[in-house]
Amino acid sequence: MTVLFYEKFGIEKNSVTGITGSGGKTSMMFLLAEELSKKGRVLVTTSTKIYEPFKKQYEYLFLLNSNEKIKGDGKNIIVLGSEIRDGKLISPKEDDILKIKSEYDYILYEGDGAKEKLLKFWNDNEPCIFSFTDNVIGICNIKSINLKVSESNIHRYNMYMNKNNKIFLKEYIDKETLKNYLIHGKFFRNFLGKKILFLNRVENLEEIKIALNFSNDLKNFMFGSVKNKKIYVPPKISAIVMASGKSERFGKNKLLEKINEVSMLEITLKKLISIPFKKIFVTYKDTEIYNICKKYNVVPLENRNYFLGQSESIKRGVKEIEDENIMFFTGDMPFLKESTIIKLISEFDDSIVIPTINNKRFSPVIFPKRYKEELMKLSGDTGGKEIIKNEKNLKFVEFYDEKEFIDIDTQEEMEKFKGDI
C-alpha cells in the first residue's frame, strides 16, 4: 500500500502549509503538490524565492508583475510568483495570495532559503510564514552527519558563529549535534499552528536507528526520504522479553548459559537497550534473571504462573503496557540481529508485524496496542498464534537468513551453534 506524505502530515482540504529548513524543501513541496493534485486544485508559491520550477511540475505558472501565464505539463498544480529573476521565482505579496485563496483546495509554499546546503541558520525575519498558515513542516537532512562544520555546509554559519552560537561545538557534525540542531532550530519561529519536524534522506537501517533515537526527544517528529517517497512516523513500542520458561528440553535455565562469557539472555538485552523502546520488560522466575535485568536497567517482572505456559509470560508483560505497542521477544535467539529488529520496527504501520522466510513465520512479532485485551485473555502454551490465526490485518516482512531466527532449545543445539556467535 502506497504511503502518502500528505496523509501522514494530516494536511486537510482548504489548508495552507509552509515548508521551512533545508535539505529537501522544494522536493517536499512538489511531492506534496503531486499527491494533493489528485484530491483538488493546488497552489504552489514561496514567501521568499525559489528556483524556477520545471514545466513538468505545474499546469500553469502565473507571474503577477507581467501578467504572464506559462503553460506546463502537469495537472491541477498552479505556481504563483511576482516575477522570475536570475532563475529564481520571487514571492508574491501576501495580499495577492489572499485574493485568490478561496480558488484553491490546498496551498503550499516554501518559507525560507538555504543556498542548497543541508543545514542553515535563520535571519531574524526568517522563516517567512504567512499569517494565514495552518501547518508548517520543518525539514532537516540526515546526510549532514559527518560533514565538516563550515560555511560550505551550513548556510550563514559564519554569521552565527560570530554570535557565539552553542549548537556547533565540534569540527564535524555528529548525531548529538544534529539532534541539538533539530531541537533548537528556528523552523517554526513564532508560529502557533500545527508543527511537524521531518528528517529527510533517511534511507538505510543505520539512519533509521539514528532517527528512532532522536524521536524520544522531539515532538511531532517524522522521518524518511522524499527522494524514495518513504515516510515513517516513529511508533511508541515497548519490548517484552519472555524469560520465565522451564527450559525442560535443555535441562537447566538455558538463558543463563554463557556463550563467549556472556549469557544468552544478555546477548539479547545488549541489542535491545540500544534501541529506543519506551520500556523493556523481562518476565522471570529465577533470581539470576532478575539480577541480569538490574544489570541492564530493564524492568523485571516476576511470573509466578510460569508453569501454566507461555501465555502467562505474555500476560505478565502486557499487564504493564500503557498506551504503547508491544514487541515480543524470546531470550533464546542469540543470532537475531539488531538491524532486523530496526527493520521490523520501521515497517510497523498499526498492523501485526511478523518476520517471514519463504512463507515460514518467526519471532519477534509486533502487536498494535489495540490487541492488549485479547492478549490478556490468552491461556496455555499457544502464545499469540491464536490471535494471529484469526486476524486479517497482518504485515509480513521478508528476510533471508533462517539461522538468524533459530531459538536454542537443547544443549546439543547450543554446542552446534556456539562457535557461530
Q: What is the pLDDT along the chain (421 residues), one digit of tens a residue?
A: 567 999 999 999 999 999 999 999 999 999 999 999 999 999 999 999 999 999 999 999 999 999 999 999 999 999 999 999 999 999 999 999 999 999 999 999 999 999 999 999 898 889 999 999 999 999 999 999 999 989 899 998 877 666 556 677 788 999 999 999 999 999 999 899 999 999 999 999 999 999 999 998 999 999 999 999 999 999 999 999 998 876 555 556 778 878 778 888 999 999 999 999 999 999 998 899 999 999 999 999 998 887 787 888 999 999 999 999 999 998 888 889 999 999 999 999 889 999 999 999 999 999 999 999 999 998 877 778 889 988 888 999 999 988 888 777 666 666 666 655 5
pLDDT given at position 402: 87
Burial class (CB in 10 A: 0-12, 13-18, 19+), 287: exposed
pLDDT given at position 398: 95
pLDDT given at position 162: 62
CA distance 132 to 104: 14
Model confidence over 174-217: pLDDT tens digits?
999 999 999 999 999 989 999 999 999 999 999 999 999 999 89
> pTM score, two decimals?
0.89
Continuous H helices in 219-309: 264-272, 287-295
Give the CATH class of 5-232: alpha beta
**CATH (one of 3.90.550.10, 3.90.1300.10, 3.40.50.300, 3.30.470.20) for 237-420:** 3.90.550.10
pLDDT given at position 318: 94
Model confidence over 345-356: pLDDT tens digits?
999 988 999 999
Domain residue limits, the chain: 5-232, 237-420
CA distance 218 to 198: 10
pLDDT given at position 403: 85
pLDDT given at position 420: 59
CA distance 384 to 375: 7
pLDDT given at position 306: 79
pLDDT given at position 165: 65
In the structure grid, which three cell numbers stand for residue 142, read together? 540526515
pLDDT given at position 141: 97
Question: Crossing angle, helix 205-215 and helix 175-184, to 10 degrees?
Answer: 50
